[in-house]
Amino acid sequence: MKIVKPHKIKSSLVLDNEEMIARVLKDAKEMQKFCGVHDKMNYYAIAHSQVTATNPLRFFVTENEIIVNPDIKKHTRTTIDSFEGCASYPDTAGIVVDRYNKVLVEYSIYHEDAEHEEDKWELITEDCNGIRAKIFQHEIDHFDAIYIYEKRK
C-alpha cells in the first residue's frame, strides 16, 4: 500500500456490513504504517482516500486508532492559522490554512473482539482542540476531496 496521487473522488460512508468492515480493518493495519515520523516529517493521520482512489471509505487512522465516519457537529466561530503539511504532497512545503481551534466531533470505533454483535460499534462524541481538532478537520477534508493547497490562506 502506498500514498496515491491526490484525486477528486469523495469517500463513502462505512456501512455495518461484513465485507466493508473487513476492508476497513485490513486497510487500516497497512495505513497505520504511514503514521509517525518519516523523513523528518510527522504524519499524525492518514485518510483512506490517500491510499486508494477506488471507492475510498470515510475513515482515517492514527498510530493507535481507527476513526470511522467522523463528523464535525459544532465548532468555534473564529479560526486560527494552522501550519500543515500533507502526506499526499510529501515533497511540498507546508502552508498556513484556517482551522477551527475547537470542534465537537462524532465518530465510531469498531471493536473487533467484542463478545456481542451489539457491542462491536462504539459511538463517540469528543470535544477536540489544538492538534487533535486540526487532525479531524484535515482528514475530513480528504474525505471531501479537498486538499490543504486548495485552502491556502
What gap in Å lies between CA 54 and CA 67, rounded to an integer? 20
User: pLDDT at position 38, please?
Assistant: 65
User: pLDDT at position 152, please?
Assistant: 63
What gap in Å lies between CA 1 and CA 53, rounded to an integer? 12
Provide the CATH number for the domain formed by 18-150 in this structure: 3.90.45.10
Domain ranges of the chain: 18-150
Instruction: Decide: helix, strand or coil at residue 10.
Output: coil
Give the pLDDT mean for 85-94: 89
pLDDT in tens, 16-60: 899 999 999 999 999 999 888 766 667 899 999 999 999 999 999
Structure-block grid coordinates of residue 71: 463528523
Please give the residue that has the higher pLDDT: either 67 or 38.
Answer: 67
Residue 113, pLDDT > 90, answer no
How many C-alpha atoms does 49 have within 13 Å on its Cβ side? 25
pLDDT in tens, 114-126: 888 778 889 999 9
